C-alpha cells in the first residue's frame, strides 16, 4: 500500500520508493529515513502508483523496481521522464546484466543498483543522482549499455548528433568510454571546467538529462560501436 506521508525530516532529498514487495519497500524506506538529509515522501507498489505518487509529491529521486504489476518500472520511468521536473530514477534489480535495466536507462533512468546493495552504497547513490550526476561510475553500467546496444542495435541516427561541434562529438565519444571529468581533461589537454562546459552543452543540445543518457545515445546512434570480443 502506498503512503504519501513523509518518513523523514521533511528536508533535504525527497525520495519515493517503488517496489511490489511490501517488505522490500518498507525496508528501503526505513533505511533511507535514517539519513538526516533524506525525506521519504511516498511509496508505491506498482508503476502506475509510482507515477501518481511522484506527480503528487514531486520527489527528487525515485528508487524504482523494474518488475512490477499494472505498469512496470520501465514504462513508469518513461512516463515520469516525459513530464516536466521529472525526478531522477534509480532502477533496482536483482542481477546486473538485465535487459530490462537497459530499457529503463534508455527510458530515462540515471543509473541502477543491485538489490543487495550495502546501505552506504545506497545512500551514496541517492546523493549522487540527487546532485544531478549520473550513477555511471561502475564499469558494469557501461558494460550493460554496450552489451544490449550490441544485441539489439537501433537504426543508425547519426544525424541526431549533427548539432554537436567536432570537439563536443569527441567528448561524447570519450564519455561513452567511461572517462571521468579529470580523465577527459587530461585526454583533451584542457581544464576540468572546460570539460564541464562541453558536457553541459552536449546534454543541452541533445535534450538529455545526464551522462547516462549521453552514453546510451552514443551507442544507439552508432557513434560508439560495442566491442564484439
Rounded to an integer, what distance in angstroms lies between the CA atom of residue 207 and that of residue 192?
Answer: 22
Among 228, 227, 162, 173, which residue's Cα sits nearest to residue 199?
173
Rounded to an integer, what distance in angstroms lies between the CA atom of residue 219 and that of residue 217?
Answer: 5
pLDDT value of residue 224: 77
pLDDT value of residue 229: 47
Chain centroid offset of residue 85 CA: 15
Rounded to an integer, what distance in angstroms lies between the CA atom of residue 149 and that of residue 129?
Answer: 23
pLDDT value of residue 219: 78
Helix boundaries (H) for 89-132:
99-107, 119-130
What's the predicted TM-score (pTM) here?
A: 0.69
pLDDT value of residue 202: 92
pLDDT, mean of residues 76-81: 91
CB 111 within 8 A of CB 125: yes
pLDDT value of residue 9: 41
**% residues pLDDT > 90 (the chain):** 39
Question: Coil, strand or helix: which one is 64?
Answer: strand
Which tens digits make up the pLDDT trace of 168-220? 999 998 888 777 788 889 999 999 899 989 999 998 898 887 777 788 888 77
Find the helix packing angle between 211-220 and 192-206, rounded to 10°: 60
Rounded to an integer, what distance in angstroms lies between the CA atom of residue 38 and that of residue 80?
Answer: 21
The answer, yes or no, to whether residue 46 has pLDDT greater than 50, is: yes
The answer, yes or no, to whether residue 13 has pLDDT greater than 90, is: yes
The answer, yes or no, to whether residue 154 has pLDDT greater than 70, is: no
Amino acid at each position: 500500500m502506498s503512503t504519501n506521508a513523509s518518513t523523514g525530516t521533511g528536508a533535504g532529498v525527497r525520495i519515493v520508493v517503488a517496489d511490489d514487495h511490501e517488505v522490500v519497500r518498507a525496508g528501503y524506506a526505513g533505511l533511507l529515513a535514517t539519513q538526516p538529509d533524506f525525506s521519504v515522501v511516498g511509496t508505491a507498489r506498482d508503476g502506475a502508483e509510482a507515477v501518481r505518487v511522484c506527480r503528487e509529491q514531486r520527489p527528487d529521486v525515485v528508487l524504482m523496481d523494474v518488475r512490477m504489476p499494472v505498469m512496470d518500472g520501465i514504462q513508469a520511468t518513461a512516463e515520469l521522464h516525459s513530464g516536466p521536473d521529472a525526478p531522477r530514477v534509480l532502477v533496482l534489480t536483482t542481477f546486473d546484466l538485465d535487459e530490462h535495466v537497459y530499457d529503463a536507462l534508455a527510458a530515462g533512468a540515471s543509473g541502477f543498483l543491485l538489490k543487495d546493495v550495502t546501505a552506504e552504497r545506497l545512500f551514496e547513490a541517492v546523493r549522487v543522482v540527487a546532485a544531478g550526476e549520473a550513477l555511471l561510475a561502475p564499469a558494469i553500467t557501461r558494460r550493460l549499455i554496450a552489451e544490449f546496444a550490441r544485441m539489439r542495435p537501433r537504426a543508425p541516427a547519426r544525424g541526431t548528433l549533427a548539432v554537436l561541434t567536432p570537439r563536443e562529438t569527441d567528448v561524447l565519444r570519450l564519455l561513452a568510454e567511461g572517462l571521468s571529468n579529470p580523465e577527459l581533461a587530461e585526454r583533451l589537454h584542457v581544464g576540468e571546467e572546460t570539460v564541464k562546459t562541453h558536457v553541459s552543452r552536449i546534454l543541452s543540445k541533445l535534450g538529455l538529462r545526464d551522462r547516462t543518457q549521453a552514453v546510451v545515445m552514443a551507442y544507439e546512434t552508432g557513434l560508439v560501436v560495442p566491442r564484439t570480443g
